[in-house]
Amino acid sequence: MNLVRLRNFAAHKPVRVALFFLVFGFLVSFPFWASRYWVDVGFYVGLYALLGLGLNVILGEVGLFNLGHAAFWAIGAYTTAILNVRFGLPTLALLPISALVAAGCAWLVSSPIIHLRGDYLCIVTIALGEIVRLVLINNPGGLTGGPNGVVGIARPAFLGHVIRTPMDFYFLVWAVVAVCALALRQLQRSRIGRAWNYIREDEIAAESMGVDVRALKLLAFVLGAALAGLAGNIFAAKMRMVSPDSFTFMESCLMFCIVLLGGMGSVPGTIVGAALVVLFPEVFRPVAQYRLLFFGLALAATMYFRPGGLWPRRRAVEFLVERPGR
Amino acid sequence: MRDEAILETRGITKRFRGLVAVDRFDIAVRERTIHSLIGPNGAGKTTVFNVITGIYRPEEGKVLFAGQVLNGLKPHEILALGIARTFQNPRLFRNMTCLENVMAGQHAHGRAGFWASLLRLPHQRREERAIRERAEEWLRKLNLWYFRHELARNIPYGCQKLLELARALAAQPKVLLLDEPTCGLNEAEKEAMMGFIEGLPKEGLTVLLVEHNMNVVMGLSDWITVMNYGKKIAEGTPEEVYNNPVVIEAYLGRGEERAP
């Protein structure tokens, strides 16, 4: 298969529009013909796509190595759990609140470390992820329920319709993914998105060209964490319980893989990456013991054959195709 | 001696551990001139640039721009005041298009914030269009139009140097710091680059130039400052510097030994 030719073909506007409707139609119709099991899998693809999109802002757009993204996911989930179970706030209304709390925490913890570069930041974020998980286990103030977590989260309700079936959750998560993907596309095509990429490409040159590196890195961190907070709310609502086991270092690694596999700074790439990371264990269930081995091999192979990811962002064509009037 | 300086350093010192890279260095760059900073390799010229642009903080001394002290300001704030630079080895945004690279120059002049960008508000769209049009103008002026949608890393080295210049000019600076703009260029490209730099003072720009190529320096400069081991050893018009025995000993003598 000639990938270059395939991508050149896919760069034409009618092809892109057709492709968009094909994917859109597939995603909308999927729960109506797939089994409940696969609808559930589809939900997790959407959930990890949301987490991946959040990390993609931090890692993909700005190039900040964040290996503790699960911490913000956990903060979002626990915010929903605690405020719902202990204070009775409706679960769906907590969706934006969870995002805000996760974003606020991200701002607090990333402010002092944001100037660290590359691997140093990476190590600190790993520690951050572990600290959050251990704090949750230690049950501060009796709020987080220790290792057992918080149980009995109410089902979210939207205009009187209770979201309970796999199909309901599937549509909830994909609606949020769609809104976030659209928002990130807008940002990519703005001076904010460009400035993020300038920092990733060359931090010294970026600041010399007038980019407030610190402010934009913080913005990326906060926004990425907000998306993880959204994912946390939906996850808590779906599971109806949260426990520290869900937010391990392994989860942060998976999100990292999603962004690397899909293509740094690519919105559709991240969604493809999420699909792969979620579907892979499902497809390889028969050889369950070797799943991680296969997973590692697949990752290594991708990095070898397509170092830019499976669906990297294509800059030149984007300008040629999307510029109206010329 | 020379009072209408737009950019000035007063006794700046920059140390790296034991090494004194810049030692109580003074320079005064007059408005709308081409001022060259020359000296043997390792004399501290690039360090002076990095101190002026806020990448390094000097241990001592002051940097003044149009009467304002720049010490303590961050690089992006210094650019916004009107000092742009290029780098010795082009530091382009390699995986972005040439157009996007030049658009970077206008980042500091943009107003649209997070929400305006997210919602693509009318004023943000207008601003984006203006940024793109101005960037396109610079690409045309520097004959880079052909490469506008090409990734910066894919274009020839000479064009990369020009692209970096375009990016700096797009920031609409008052003072332009050029770090060896003709280094690595062939004769034709050198000519083009020199011709372009020569015209900048007429457009109201002040140029501070670090350069090794003596033809370029002697041909372009209104004023030359020579440094060695972090200190100023001489300054004057090209003729004065050219005939200064101290300079010949420190710089030109050695330069002749390793002829290009």
Beta pairing class for B231-236 and B223-228: antiparallel
Number of Cα atoms under 13 Å in the Cβ half of residue B205:
24
**Spatial separation of the C-alpha atoms in residues B161 and B238, rounded to whole Å:** 25
Structure tokens at A289: 């013991």
Mutate to test the interface with B, among A61, A207, A209, A221 (most CBs of B within 10 A): A209
Q: Beta strands of A181-242 (E only): which ranges?
A: 241-242
Give me the pLDDT at residue A2, please.
Answer: 58
Q: Are B49 and B210 in contact (CB under 8 A)?
A: yes
Give me the pLDDT at residue B31, please.
Answer: 92
Give me the pLDDT at residue A318, please.
Answer: 46
**Spatial separation of the C-alpha atoms in residues B210 and B214, rounded to whole Å:** 11
Phi, psi dihedrals of residue B232, rounded to the nearest 5°: -75, 125
What are the tens digits of pLDDT across the range B11-43?
999 999 888 899 999 999 999 999 999 988 888
Give me the pLDDT at residue B106, please.
Answer: 92
Structure tokens at A150: 């918080």
Q: Angle, to 10 degrees, between the axis of helix A70-85 and the axis of helix A249-262?
A: 120
Beta pairing class for B5-16 and A157-158: unpaired
| Closest by Cβ to B93, choosing from A189, A205, A213 | A205
Distance of residue B49 Cα from the nearest chain A Cα, in angstroms: 11
If you count them, how many residues does chain B have? Answer: 260
The more confident residue out of A124 and B214 is: A124
Percent of chain B with pLDDT over 70: 95
Number of Cα atoms under 13 Å in the Cβ half of residue B195:
8
Q: For B199-218, what is the mean pLDDT? A: 90
CB neighbourhood size of A165 (10 A): 13
DSSP labels, B18-29: TEEEEEEEEEEE
Q: With a cut of 70, say whether residue B208 has pLDDT above it.
A: yes
Contact A192 B150 (CB under 8 A): no
**Spatial separation of the C-alpha atoms in residues B251 and B245, rounded to whole Å:** 10
Q: How far is CA A216 from the centre of its chain?
A: 19
Q: Are B152 and B163 in contact (CB under 8 A)?
A: yes
Q: With a cut of 70, say whether residue B120 has pLDDT above it.
A: yes
**B30 contacts: CB under 8 Å, gap ≥ 6:** B2, B4, B5, B6, B206, B222, B223
Q: Which of residues 168-197 of A touch B (CB under 8 A)?
A: 183, 186-187, 189-195, 197
Interface residue A204 vs chain B (CB under 8 A): yes
Residue matched to tokens 């720009």 = B205
Give me the pLDDT at residue A217, please.
Answer: 96
User: CA-CA-CA-CA torsion for A98, A101, A104, A105, nearest 10 degrees?
Assistant: -110
Mutate to test the interface with A, among B52, B93, B94 (most CBs of A within 10 A): B93
Q: With a cut of 60, say whether residue B3 has pLDDT above it.
A: no
Say which amino acid occupies A15.
Answer: V
Average pLDDT, chain B: 89
**Spatial separation of the C-alpha atoms in residues B106 and B171, rounded to whole Å:** 5
Mutate to test the interface with B, among A114, A182, A189, A190 (most CBs of B within 10 A): A190
Give me the pLDDT at residue B244, please.
Answer: 85
Give me the pLDDT at residue A319, please.
Answer: 46
Say which amino acid occupies A268.
Answer: P
How far from B253 is each of A11, B41, B257, CA to CA, in Å? Answer: 58, 13, 7
pTM of the prediction?
Answer: 0.90
Q: Beta strands of chain B (E only): which ranges?
A: 5-16, 19-30, 34-38, 60-65, 68-69, 83-85, 175-179, 206-210, 223-228, 231-236
CA proximity to A242, closest of A229, A253, A257? A229
Q: Are A118 and A61 in contact (CB under 8 A)?
A: no
Give me the pLDDT at residue A164, please.
Answer: 87
Q: With a cut of 70, say whether residue B91 has pLDDT above it.
A: yes
Q: For B168-193, what is the mean pLDDT? A: 92
Give me the pLDDT at residue B253, please.
Answer: 56
Structure tokens at A238: 């779906």
ipTM of the complex: 0.91
Interface residue A220 vs chain B (CB under 8 A): no
Distance of residue A66 Cα from the nearest chain B Cα, in angstroms: 21
Residues of chain B in contact with residue A189, where contact means CB-CB under 8 angstroms, are 128
Give me the pLDDT at residue A20, please.
Answer: 87
Give the mean pLDDT per block of 10 residues along chain A (326 residues). 64 84 91 92 96 96 94 96 93 95 96 90 95 93 89 88 90 96 93 95 94 95 97 95 92 91 90 90 77 79 83 64 41
Give me the pLDDT at residue B251, please.
Answer: 65
**Spatial separation of the C-alpha atoms in residues B68 and B83, rounded to whole Å:** 12
| Closest by Cβ to A210, choosing from B55, B118, B171 | B171
